[in-house]
Structure 1
Amino acid sequence: MTGPLGVAIVGCGTISHQYLANLVSFPGVRVVACADLDLERAREVAARYGVPVAATSSEVISHPDVELVVNLTIPSAHARVALAAVRVGRHVYNEKPFTADRESGAVLVEAAASAGVLLGSAPDTFLGAGLQTAARVVAEGGIGTPLSALTLFQGPGPESWHPSPEFLFQPGAGPLFDMGPYYLTALTTLFGPARRVAAVGRRARDERVVGSGPRAGTRFPVEVPTHVTTLVEFAGGQAATMVFTFDSPLHRTGFIEITGTEATMRVPDPNTFGGEVLLRRAGDDDWTPVPTEGTEAGRGLGVLDMAEAVRRKRPHRATGELGLHVLDTMIAIAESAERAEFVEVGSDCPVPEPLPRGWDPAAIRFG
C-alpha cells in the first residue's frame, strides 16, 4: 500500500490526547478510528481530533483502513489487545510497560514475528532531539569509552496531587515500573542490553493519603516498594546506579549522567523529547553545552518511525524486543530486591540506530 499509514487508537484516556495531537498533524499517518471501553468517550475524542470512526476495539482493529493499532489501554490489557490486532495482521505500538509480565510479552513478540507484522513499544522519548543528540555523542566517541551511569528519580510520591493515586502503589507500578521504562530505555539505547542486576527495595510507610480532589483525605494501602536502588550491569561492561523513589522530600527527576574515559555527559530528562546535553571533560571548570539536533514533536514519533519502516521496508527503532527487554530488566530488579541477590536478565534486544540528521515528522510522506 502507499499513502499515509492508517492508524487506530485503542484506549482514549488522558495519554491519548498527547498522541492524537501529534498523529493527526503528521502527513505520514492518518488516524482513521478510535476505540474505548466507554464508547461515548471514544466518540468525544474522535470528534475532537477529526477522526472519522469511533467504535469498539474489535471493530476498529478489523477496520479495513487500519494498518497499525496504537494500544493505549491499561497495562493489564496490553497483551490481550495487541495479540488480537496481531492475529488479524495489524502492526501494533504498545504504551509502556510493554505487557504485564515476561510470559505474555514473549508470546506477543513471537506472534508478531510469525504474522510478519511490526511490534513497537513506548517510550519513544529516545527519538527526541535530546536523547538522539546524546546517542550521537556516544557513537562518535565524544566521551571516549562509556563506563558508567548515574540516574535519579526522586520525589515524595504522586498522592499529593493525583486524585486517584492508588494504582501507582499497587503491583506493576511503584516508582520502578512507573518511571523505570524512561530511564532504562535511555540507557539501553546508549549502552545496549542489560545482563544482570542487584537491587534493594524499601517501603517508607504502609499507608498513604489522597491529597487532592473529591477523595482528599482517603487512606489507602501501599503494596509495593516505594524506594528502589539498583545496580545494572550491561552487556558492554558498563554499570549504572539507579534510584527510583516516592519517599524523598527532595524533588530531583530527569537526572542522568554518563561517564566515559574522556568526559562525563549530562543527558536530558528521558521523560521529555528535548532538553540540553552537557559535556564536561577532564580539567574543565564547567559544563559545555552540545547543540541539539532533531525533533521535539513529542509522543507518536515511535508510531511515525514504524509507519516509515512499513512503507519503506526498513527496521524501526522503538521495537517490541526493546520494550520486552526493558520490562524483563524491571522484573529482574524487583526479583533481586525481594531475594537479596543478583538476578540475570535473560532477554536481548537490538540497539536502535540513531535517526538520520534532518529527520522531520512534517516532511515524511509516502506515495
Structure 2
Amino acid sequence: MMDKSAPVWSQIGDRSNGSRPTLRYARFWLVLAAYLLSLSARVLAQRIPALTVLPPDLSLTNPALAQRRSELVEERASLHGRVTDLNARCGSVLAGSAADAACQKAQTELSIALNSHIQKSGDFNADAQPAVRANILIKNMNALAIKLGWSLEKQARLNIALHKLDFDGDPNVTGGQVRSAWQGILSRGEDADIVREASEGGGLGFPGAGAQTTHEDCAIFALANATGLPYGVVAARATGLIGQEDWRSASERANPQSYVETRGLNGGEVVMLAESFGQAEVVRSSEFVNTLNTGRPIMINVVPPNGDVSGGHEVVLTKAFQHAGETWFVMMDSNQGPERHLFLSSKELNTMLQERGVAYRPEPGTTPALLR
C-alpha cells in the first residue's frame, strides 16, 4: 500500500532570490516525465503502479475489466502529454511572475490528476490481480478435467461455471451485522410457525451428512449434504482431486487430507467436485428461489458466525418458502449437526452471503465414476 497522506512532491529549488529565474520546474518536470515513462522510478517516495497485464482470454470474458485498463492506459498517455507541455512552458520562469503563478496552478492541477490516477490504478490492480489468478486456476482446472477424461459436455459445463464464480451479497456489510444475523438465525431455532410454513409442499428435505468438528472441512460437508452422499465418499473424491492438482504444492498433493482439514476448498474446487458427482451450475442470489423450486440444493459461501468478513463457511440452501409476506430459506449448516434445519430471511442471507451459489443436480440416469 502506498502512503496516500504523503505529498506527490515537495518543493524543489531555491526561491530566495526572486530577481532571477530558477530551474525548479525544469528539474521537476523532467524527473516526472521519466517517472511516467518508465513506471519504475520513484518521485519523492510516490509511485505510479504498473498496470496488471490481462491475458487475452480474460479480456474477452471480463470486458469491463479490460475497458478499465484501456482507459487507464489512455489517461497515462494524457498525463505524459501534460507533463511534456508544462515542461516546455515552465522549464525556466521568473519566480513571482505571472508565468510562475500559472505554472504553480498547472502543477497543482496535475498533482490532483496524478493522485487520482494513482488511486484508480491501485483499485484496478486490486481487482485485476485476483482475476488473473482465477483465470490461471480455471485453465488448470479445465486441463485437469481433460486429463481425467471428462466428456466434452462436462468440460464445457465446468468451464462455464468456473467463469461465473463471482462475489454476491452486500459489499458494505460489517462483522457486527453478520454476527447479529447469525444470532437471530440460531436463536430463532425451529419456530413452530416457520417450520409449518417451510414444510408445506414437500417437507424440509433430508438429514445432513454429520456434524463438523474442529476441522475446516465445511465444504466437504456441504457437498455431502447437497449430493446426498456419505461424507467419506465426498472426502475421498476431494483428496483424490487435490492429489492431482498441478497448481498445488508438492506437500499439499502429498497430504491432501491434511490440506482439506486445515485449509478447506476454494470455490473452483467446490464447483469441480460437484461436477464430478453430477451437474454443477453457478447461480446468482436473484436466481436462488427459482433454482431451489426445481429441486436443486445450492451450496453457498457465507461469512462465518464470528463475523470475520475475510473468512468463509460453506452451507447448503435446501428450500425457499414464504413467511410473513417475505421469501425465506431453509439452510443446512454442518456446525449444527445433521438433523437441525436453520431458517433465514432474504435480508439475513444477503448479509451473510459471500459469493454466488453452486447449484447441484445428479447426472440423469448415471452413477458418478470415481476420479482416476
- State the TM-score, normalizing by the size of structure 1: 0.24
Higher relative CO (Cα under 8 Å, sequence separation at least 6) belongs to 1
Task: Name the structure where strand makes up a greater proportion of residues.
Answer: 1
